[in-house]
Amino acid sequence: MNSATVRSLLVRGMLAGLAAGLLALLVAYLLGEPRVDAAIAYEEAHAAHGADHGMEVEIVSRALQSTAGLATGVLVYGVSFGGTAALAYSFALGRVGRFTPRATAALLSGVALLAVYVVPFLKYPANPPSVGDPETIGQRTTLYFLMMALSVLLAVAAVIVGKRLAPRLGNWYATVVGVLGFGVAVGLAYVLLPGINEVPEDFSATLLWQFRISALAIQLTLWATFGLVFGHLAERLLAPKPATTAAPRETAQKAAASAL
């Protein structure tokens, strides 16, 4: 693939990421922010009963965080991840099977959602404010990104193994072996890596569940929208439709006129 095509895919990926970010922003504002507000209210209520808690200076207001701050973070993330995904798509196109450009975009989005977010999320799910010990944030962050890196590497290894086994086992059984191997390796990582459970006993289980579902919904919206939009744009670039010919009636009339 030449550099001009890669550049065009990069631009389209960033545009698709922006579109995905807009929809994810809507989901985050409608589903995520009310749960964040409820978690902050819980934290403030418990802090008010503490003897050693002083008044904290609010550097950035909550209203600004939930509007302009949220929009900036989600949209910048959408554009940057869209560009990164477009570069990965340029490398993967034609190397993962005989898929159309649109199907490759959908496949890449699904695998990336699973490896980059769902697998780490199931081991170390997102927590709202007031959940977690501030002194362990470094450990929790390290473990989360370690799980993410392992998941991505295992997904790449599963694809490589599947492609190498395809000539002997066929595409179907090679895919089954790759998926099973990925699942077993992820299960071992779940067992070997330490777990973290710092949810207060009196914290609302319903609120915690709703927050985690909303976090998952944001990522699903982001990756699904990107896959659909970028797949459409990539298809138009890489497999454009042939130019339409004149209508059959007009062609026949012109042929008859020239014959006269």
pLDDT digits 0-9 by tens, 4-37: 888 999 999 999 999 999 999 999 999 988 888 8
Structure-block tokens of residue 168 = 């002997």
Which pLDDT score, from 0 to 100, does residue 62 have? 73
Distance CA 186, CA 173 (A): 20
Contacts of 246 (CB under 8 A, 6+ apart): 254
The pLDDT tens digits of the residues spanning 89-144 come to 988 887 777 788 899 999 999 999 999 999 999 999 988 877 777 778 888 889 99
Distance CA 38, CA 221 (A): 23
% of residues, the chain, pLDDT over 70 = 87
Q: Could you state, in order of their start, the residue ranges of all structural domains in the chain?
A: 1-48+63-131+201-239, 133-198
Per-residue CA distances from 97 to 25, 57, 101, 167, 175 (Å): 33, 56, 11, 12, 11
* Helix, strand, coil content of the chain in percent (nearest 5): 80, 0, 20
Which pLDDT score, from 0 to 100, does residue 53 have? 47
Segment 59-85 shows an average pLDDT of: 86
Q: pLDDT tier at 246 (50, 70, 90 boundaries)?
A: very low
Is residue 169 over pLDDT 50? yes
With 0-12 / 13-18 / 19 or more C-beta atoms within 10 angstroms meaning exposed / middle / buried, residue 117 is: buried
* Of the candidate ranges 39-43, 158-162, 183-187, 207-211, the one whose mean pLDDT is the lowest: 39-43
Distance CA 217, CA 208 (A): 14
DSSP 184-233: HHHHHHHHHSPP-----TTS-HHHHHHHHHHHHHHHHHHHHHHHHHHHHH
